[in-house]
A and B are shown apart, each in its own frame.
Chain A
Amino acid sequence: MSDTPTGAGPGPTAEPGGGTSSDNPNMAAGEQAELVETGLEVQLSEQLMKVRDRLVEAFGDLEVIGFRGELTLIVPPERIIDVLRFCRDDPELSCELLADLSAVHWPGGKRRENAQETTGWPTYETGSEEGRIELDYILYSITHNHRFRLRVSLPDVDPRVDSATSVYGSANFMEREAYDMFGVHFNDHPNLVRILMPEDWEGHPQRKDYPLGGVEVLYKGATIPPPDERSY
């Protein structure tokens, strides 16, 4: 581990969410300061710095995030297939495995998240200016034993990106899952149908704007309300 200062990358960005974690009322002040400090710290191993240098050299305009020793590169959606192919074929990177492909939905606008939904009391404000879906491709190289993340940011209304199935066969199932859960359309995917939810399901359950279901109780029509509508 070599502690590299934050300014090493071409403009390290704030971590996702844009949320205001400083509002957390149940944290001590000292702890708060400490978390802010460590959260923005870029600490990448020399190996990952080489990966970063190599990718930034090949695709100049990539944004770089380092967090907890993990490297994330933000790739424009239209270039993701090129970058993936480069990562797979370049002898210095040679990422044999697309280890994971998953998405995170950050809805637009301010969202009050009430911790009362389950237990506890604090209310958090999260959200960002515009809604987006972040697709994360985790690449792993068995040859060089490094792992890093490519991130693509898509609008959360009709998100579209090219399918990676031409580069990695394993992307087939992962993209189907991302389509099923987030409604991301992968262009040229061979069989983009739902995978976990039933075929006639409506909506994409892992999106944050998907309404939560309550629980029907087989007793005189009673129901348990969904977690975000419960009052204790």
Chain B
Amino acid sequence: MAGSDDPTTGADTPTSGAEHPTGAAEQPTTELAPSGDGDRFSVEPRHEFTVAAGEWQELPDAVDDDLMVINMGPQHPSTHGVLRMTLTLDGETVLDNQPTIGYLHTGIEKNCEYRPWVQGVANVTRMDYLSPLFNELGYCLAVERLLGIEDEVPERAQAIRVVMTELNRISSHMVWLATGGMELGSTTVMIYGFRERESILDMLEHVTGLRMNHAYIRPGGVSMDVPDDFESRVRALVKELRDKVGETEDLLTENPIWLERNVGVGILTAEQCFDLGVTGPMLRAAGIPHDLRKAQPYCGFEQYDFNVVTTDTADAYGRYLVRLGEVYESLKIIEQVIDTMPGGPVMVPDRKIAWPAQLGLGPDGLGNTTEYIGKIMGQSMEALIHHFKLVTEGFTVPEGQVYTAVESPRGELGYHVTSNGTNKPYRVHVRDPSFIHIGALPTLTRGLLVADVIAAVASLDPVMGGVDR
């Protein structure tokens, strides 16, 4: 929007927040309008929204206290997207760090309230864009619990969910490694990480049709069965990943620069993690072997043998070790699932919930299979009515409220879903781990140098799409 590069938001005028809107209105934004031809293209300044955060008023007097206030972000290559941090510095030491978020707020939670239950999947998958399948899974588990069909979801669907989400976990960790490495100056790691991620996204595309934002996991199962060559391709991928992640490990684990930048940086002890609600690899790096896949298994995770990787260093390097270890554990899980892949349907048998058609690949692309179209258009009027009602209205869900949580690559991803008995959610609240972890930033970065703030934020692995929703 207009005025986003407003110079008055600079760090040198920390107390100007209150006067800011009027100041911005005087900016010559209307000059954008071409002269003459009416006001069709005129940009009206009333649409400006400023983000003069309240904490500006609380900042110290720069001259009296000999402190400096530096604004880092939101347009900063190392803040993982549009995260703004207001650093209060004494020399180069960070005394305070107030994060400002909301730049990527898209109102997905509110949007879910005006769409049928099934369409919610396509909405929530766009929140945390590095782990879309976890969002879908969390939402679907919540809807299934509300419907009371948790136990009816077929085994094959659960196994597919496990494989897909574990692949997604690896791809997410790889992006974390790639971006985190790049922020610390290693472009090689960046290339390696994105290379591995790309092979995984190819696999996800092969199964779901899309690289990201799959809308593949649906309430009651998954949208379609996996292709015939799924098992062989996953096996090949697992082998490939094991080799290539090993390369990255060789490059980094004993690397003196990597050690120097990460060891002892961004320490968050277990007690601090509890207080700040920090979960996932951050908590495990602090020595607490807490993993929801073990603690409260979903999708049949109790059948698979894997370890919860922990370290007791509680720093950025420990988080690196934990995430790398998790990649290998995920590969182990995927292999086990592929070995014991059950057959059968991939959607609940209840025809009032299951999507009426299975997708198939036709000459003109992916769509409802020709047999199914022939049936509803030529043979069964009831099937056509049923299809029409279910696709347009969707199913209704009993009244109630549930909270389901899955272990996303970043921590506990919770879906707090309320139904009032209609065909749409009444309220969907997402407990996104990135959001909670951003709240830990002041504690995490206090006393660090500015360059270490980059390493500390990188070790948090925040995804702003999930933070702002």
Indicate whether A and B interact: yes
The interface of chain A, by Cβ under 8 A from chain B, is 15-17, 19-21, 24, 26-28, 31, 35, 38-39, 67-70, 72, 96-100, 102-105, 113, 115, 117-122, 124, 126, 136, 138, 140, 142, 145, 147, 149, 168-170, 172-174, 177, 191, 193-201, 205-206, 212, 227-228
Among residues of B, the one whose C-beta sits closest to the C-beta of A170 is: B277
Asked if A120 and B105 sit within 8 Å, CB to CB, the answer is: no
Q: At the interface, yes or no: B279 with Cβ under 8 Å from chain A?
A: yes
Asked if B107 and A205 sit within 8 Å, CB to CB, the answer is: yes
Q: In the complex, A199→B17 CA distance in Å?
A: 10
Interface string of B330-366 (1 = CB under 8 A from A): 0000000000000000000000100000000000000
Binds A, one of B49-57, B252-260, B447-455: B49-57
Asked if B279 and A19 sit within 8 Å, CB to CB, the answer is: no
Q: Which of A17, A72, A136, A147 contacts B420 (CB 8 A)?
A: A17
Q: In the complex, A148→B381 CA distance in Å?
A: 47
Among residues of B, the one whose C-beta sits closest to the C-beta of A180 is: B102
Asked if B102 and A200 sit within 8 Å, CB to CB, the answer is: no
Pick from B55, B110, B443 the residue with the most CB of A within 10 Å.
B110
The interface of chain B, by Cβ under 8 A from chain A, is 21, 49-55, 58, 101-102, 105, 107, 109-110, 114-116, 119, 145-146, 148, 274-279, 288, 290, 295-296, 352, 389, 392-394, 396, 398-403, 405, 412, 414, 416, 418, 420-424, 426-427, 429, 431, 435-436, 438-440, 443, 468-469
Asked if B396 and A26 sit within 8 Å, CB to CB, the answer is: yes
Asked if A201 and B49 sit within 8 Å, CB to CB, the answer is: yes
Asked if A17 and B426 sit within 8 Å, CB to CB, the answer is: yes
Asked if B421 and A142 sit within 8 Å, CB to CB, the answer is: no
Q: In the complex, A72→B52 CA distance in Å?
A: 39
Asked if B401 and A16 sit within 8 Å, CB to CB, the answer is: yes
Asked if A198 and B49 sit within 8 Å, CB to CB, the answer is: yes
Asked if A136 and B401 sit within 8 Å, CB to CB, the answer is: yes
How far, in Å, is B45 (CB) from chain A's closest CB? 13
From known contacts A21-B399, A195-B102, A196-B102, infer whether A98 and B49 are also in contact, taking CB-CB under 8 Å: no
Q: In the complex, A41→B172 CA distance in Å?
A: 40
User: Given the complex, which residues of A lie within 8 Å of B148, measured CB to CB?
Assistant: 38, 68
User: Given the complex, which residues of B lie within 8 Å of A126, measured CB to CB?
Assistant: 420-422, 426
Q: In the complex, A138→B114 CA distance in Å?
A: 25
Q: In the complex, A200→B412 CA distance in Å?
A: 32
Asked if B402 and A68 sit within 8 Å, CB to CB, the answer is: yes
Q: In the complex, A117→B392 CA distance in Å?
A: 12
Q: In the complex, A16→B396 CA distance in Å?
A: 16
User: Given the complex, which residues of B lie within 8 Å of A177, measured CB to CB?
Assistant: 435
Asked if B399 and A19 sit within 8 Å, CB to CB, the answer is: yes
Among residues of B, the one whose C-beta sits closest to the C-beta of A124 is: B422
Q: In the complex, A204→B52 CA distance in Å?
A: 18
User: Given the complex, which residues of A lie within 8 Å of B295, measured CB to CB?
Assistant: 142, 145
How far, in Å, is B445 (CB) from chain A's closest CB? 15
Asked if A193 and B54 sit within 8 Å, CB to CB, the answer is: yes
Q: In the complex, A78→B425 CA distance in Å?
A: 30
Q: In the complex, A70→B148 CA distance in Å?
A: 12
Asked if A104 and B426 sit within 8 Å, CB to CB, the answer is: yes
Q: In the complex, A113→B425 CA distance in Å?
A: 12
Asked if B403 and A122 sit within 8 Å, CB to CB, the answer is: no
User: Given the complex, which residues of B lie within 8 Å of A191, measured CB to CB?
Assistant: 54-55, 58
